[in-house]
């Protein structure tokens, strides 16, 4: 049972992948993306020179959307409690994740189920430590080695962005497409190792969904955001639906946050009991 709780967290970690490109769309709660024909053409820098040039209309839309893309939730610390439901590998599990972040330094996650503490993780940009209280064991490893457990490499900063509701990666990205759907906008951003497609609500420019795809075509992810609330001057999505498809296996994590706070003084308690086996 405990291994499946860990798997649910790994699905969340897997969304912070660093080697991505366009693949198949996820079938669960997918957002339909359409293309519109335009006329006049202008040449602009794109991630792939072999791609067709953007139209003037699309380039103008990109210029309008880039400030929205670059607007990130800024914070010093974050804390929140998320009720989570995990589906994958024939399992359906419900648990609670208590999450604390010190920006760019520490991500701390404590998992409870049925009022029992199941596991605790302490993640830094360089390493990850996990205590499994049910199995009375612990793991320590460089964050680069976590890739062996995941369908894609883990990036601390992308995971941090995923939790607080930012785009996974903004630096080094180039806009390659944009579409106006009436009530929403879609913006596609490419980096040398990642493509993200964000959909924004026109009414308030909040992000509605973010799609990420792997270079191998074996992994495809979609995050959907909802129930935005104004928390200490920040628009925060209280609900998330994460879909991940890896080698034909489908995983789903539903997250519902409460007790969210920013910029409060936090502690990150973590210790490994002496009698625990370290793997």
CATH value at residue 250: 2.50.20.10
Number of domains in the chain: 1
pLDDT for position 171: 74
| In the chain, % of residues over pLDDT 90 | 48
Q: Which residue has the higher pLDDT, 157 or 73?
A: 73
The full 3-state SS of 60-86, as one line of letters, equals HHHHHHHHHHHCCCCCCEEEEEEEEEE
Q: Write down the pTM of the prediction.
A: 0.80
Q: pLDDT band at 30, cuts 50/70/90?
A: very low
Domain carrying residue 37: 2-278
Convert the pLDDT of each residue in 156-190 to its tens digit.
Answer: 888 899 899 998 876 778 999 999 999 999 999 98
Asked if pLDDT for residue 240 goes beyond 60, the answer is yes
Asked if pLDDT for residue 42 goes beyond 90, the answer is no
Biggest CA–CA distance in the chain, Å, is: 70
Mean pLDDT, the chain, integer: 80
State how far the alpha carbon of 163 is from the alpha carbons of 85, 115, 149, in Å.
16, 23, 20
For the beta carbon of residue 230, count every other beta carbon within 10 angstroms: 8
Q: pLDDT band at 12, cuts 50/70/90?
A: low
Q: Which residue has the higher pLDDT, 151 or 118?
A: 118
- Looking at residue 10, the DSSP 8-state letter turns out to be H
Convert the pLDDT of each residue in 76-105 to its tens digit.
Answer: 999 999 999 988 878 888 899 999 999 999
Q: pLDDT band at 1, cuts 50/70/90?
A: very low
Which structure tokens are listed for 165? 């509701």
Average pLDDT of span 129-137:
90
* Contacting residues for 268 by C-beta, under 8 A, at least 6 apart: 100, 102, 106, 108, 122
* Contacting residues for 40 by C-beta, under 8 A, at least 6 apart: 55, 56, 57
Q: pLDDT band at 26, cuts 50/70/90?
A: very low
Asked if pLDDT for residue 271 goes beyond 70, the answer is yes
Q: By the 8 A CB rule, do 48 and 228 touch?
A: no
């Amino acid at each position: 049972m405990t291994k499946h709780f860990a798997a649910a967290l790994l699905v969340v970690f897997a969304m912070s992948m660093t080697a991505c490109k366009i693949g198949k769309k996820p079938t669960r709660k997918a957002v339909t993306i359409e293309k519109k024909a335009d006329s006049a053409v202008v040449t602009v820098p794109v991630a792939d020179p072999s791609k067709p040039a953007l139209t003037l209309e699309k380039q103008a839309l990109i210029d309008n959307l880039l400030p929205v893309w670059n607007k990130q939730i800024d914070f010093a610390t974050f804390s929140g409690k998320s009720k989570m439901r995990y589906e994958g590998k024939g399992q359906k599990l419900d648990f609670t994740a208590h999450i604390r972040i010190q920006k760019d330094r520490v991500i701390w996650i404590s998992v409870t189920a049925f009022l029992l503490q199941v596991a605790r993780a302490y993640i830094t940009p360089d390493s990850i430590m996990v205590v499994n209280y049910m199995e009375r064991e612990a793991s320590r490893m460089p964050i680069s080695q976590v890739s062996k457990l995941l369908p894609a490499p883990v990036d601390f900063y992308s995971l941090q962005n995923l939790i607080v509701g930012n785009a996974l990666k903004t630096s080094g990205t180039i806009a390659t497409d944009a579409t106006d759907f009436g009530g929403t906008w879609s913006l596609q951003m490419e980096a040398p190792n990642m493509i993200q497609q964000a959909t924004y609500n026109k009414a308030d420019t909040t992000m509605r969904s973010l799609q990420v795809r792997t270079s191998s075509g074996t992994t495809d992810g979609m995050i959907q955001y909802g129930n935005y609330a104004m928390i200490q001057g920040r628009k925060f999505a209280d609900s998330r639906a994460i879909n991940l498809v890896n080698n034909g296996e489908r995983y789903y994590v539903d997250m519902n946050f409460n007790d969210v706070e920013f910029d409060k003084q936090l502690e990150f308690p973590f210790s490994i009991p002496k009698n625990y086996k370290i793997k």
